[in-house]
């Protein structure tokens, strides 16, 4: 136990908290910038089991913020590479790596048996898919996001409101690291706070982080935050489904351009977000509307334009980068 002596000495943790960490099983979705401090601090603290999910490979543009990786890792799959680096840090921790994109078809399998989920994915759709699943099953979710010089981290679900409750309305534009840039230290700060929230929840430290949002604006050197324990859950919010769940009798609108991807389904229509509105297309009665795009953003925007004029079921599909293979064999060690 000499490895953990200094953290056991913290009264809020103690030997009881350390035992809880050793018995814990967590899911980390995303092996990028946020996961770098998250994995190092969780593995270093002695969390017993970690399941790591990510579909990507290491790119040179990742290295300024994804500090788990080295130049020699470029071109290698992120999940197994990160897992291997973490095994060198602490062989007390059992790490399962899965090279796969998370979607509604596999979220239940990836979350099976875990005590807590960490959303470290740079994916609008993945965050809501995880929140919907965790909220339905009362699983704690620590979700974070960073763009440019600002970001947030919060504790959702379990006994707290979901991500949808705090963010029920979709902004007209979602920032991304590729489009807006991102500074490595900002990602590190948010990721470290995400790890602290996870350790506090797993170890039973009070006060618990569920229902707490913390924000940072590194350009103005300001931290903020608030509690959202009473945020109401939105009704009739559009849910994501897996591409494999498309049906021939669905009203399927593919919002991607022809040069972006082939049609989502033989019965799909190629439409744009602005096609929907007062005079826009309407699904037939008793038909499910399925709105498809790459990230989920355009699909949600189209759903917001369709909803005032049609009261049927609306679902969303985020196809992601179609050049990424959907799933390869995970490794367990």
Rounded distance, CA 275 to CA 278, Å? 9
Q: In this structure, how many other beta carbons lie within 10 angstroms of the beta carbon of residue 42? A: 28
Rounded distance, CA 177 to CA 148, Å? 7
Element (H, E) at 246: none
User: Reduced to 3 states, what is the DSSP secondary structure of residue 7?
Assistant: helix
The residues assigned a catalytic role are: 177
Report the relative pairing of strands 251-254 and 239-240 from DSSP bridges: unpaired
Is the C-alpha dihedral spanning 225, 220, 196, 6 positive or negative? negative
Q: At what angle do helices 14-23 and 184-203 cross, to 10 degrees?
A: 100
Report CA dihedral (292, 295, 298, 300) to the nearest 10 degrees.
Answer: 80
Residue (of 125, 116, 121) closest to 145 by Cα position: 121
Six token digits for residue 34:
């946020």
Residue (of 97, 1, 4) closest to 44 by Cα position: 4
C-alpha distance from residue 55 to each of 101, 117, 121, 127, 130 (Å): 5, 17, 10, 15, 16
Rounded distance, CA 10 to CA 69, Å? 31
Rounded distance, CA 131 to CA 161, Å? 10
C-alpha distance from residue 1 to each of 5, 6, 39, 44, 50 (Å): 6, 10, 20, 12, 20
């Amino acid at each position: 136990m000499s490895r953990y002596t200094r953290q056991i000495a913290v009264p809020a943790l103690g030997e009881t908290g350390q035992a809880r960490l050793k018995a814990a099983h967590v899911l980390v979705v995303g092996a990028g910038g946020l996961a770098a401090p998250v994995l190092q601090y969780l593995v270093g603290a002695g969390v017993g089991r970690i399941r790591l999910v990510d579909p990507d490979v290491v790119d040179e543009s990742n290295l300024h913020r994804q500090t788990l990786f080295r130049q020699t890792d470029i071109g290698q799959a992120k999940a197994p590479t990160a897992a291997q680096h973490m095994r060198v840090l602490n062989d007390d921790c059992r790490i399962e790596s899965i090279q796969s994109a998370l979607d509604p078809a596999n979220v239940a399998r990836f979350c099976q048996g875990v005590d807590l989920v960490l959303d470290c994915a740079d994916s609008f759709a993945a965050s809501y898919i995880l929140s919907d699943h965790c909220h339905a099953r009362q699983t704690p979710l620590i979700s974070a996001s960073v763009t440019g010089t600002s970001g947030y981290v919060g504790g959702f679900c379990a006994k707290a409101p979901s991500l949808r409750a705090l963010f029920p309305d979709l902004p007209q534009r979602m920032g991304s690291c590729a489009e807006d840039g991102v500074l490595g230290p900002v990602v590190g700060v948010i990721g470290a706070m995400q790890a602290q929230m996870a350790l506090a929840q797993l170890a039973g430290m009070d006060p618990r982080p569920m229902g707490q949002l913390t924000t940072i604006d590194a350009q103005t050197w300001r931290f903020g935050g608030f509690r959202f324990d009473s945020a109401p859950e939105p009704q009739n919010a559009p849910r994501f489904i897996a591409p494999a769940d498309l049906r021939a009798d669905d009203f399927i609108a593919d919002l991607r351009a022809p040069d972006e991807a082939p049609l989502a389904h033989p019965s799909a229509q190629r439409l744009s977000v602005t096609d929907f509105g007062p005079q826009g297309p309407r699904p037939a009665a008793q038909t499910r509307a399925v709105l498809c795009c790459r990230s989920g953003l355009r699909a949600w925007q189209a759903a917001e334009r369709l909803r005032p004029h049609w009261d049927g079921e609306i679902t969303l599909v985020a196809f992601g980068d179609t050049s990424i293979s959907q799933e390869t064999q995970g490794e367990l060690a």
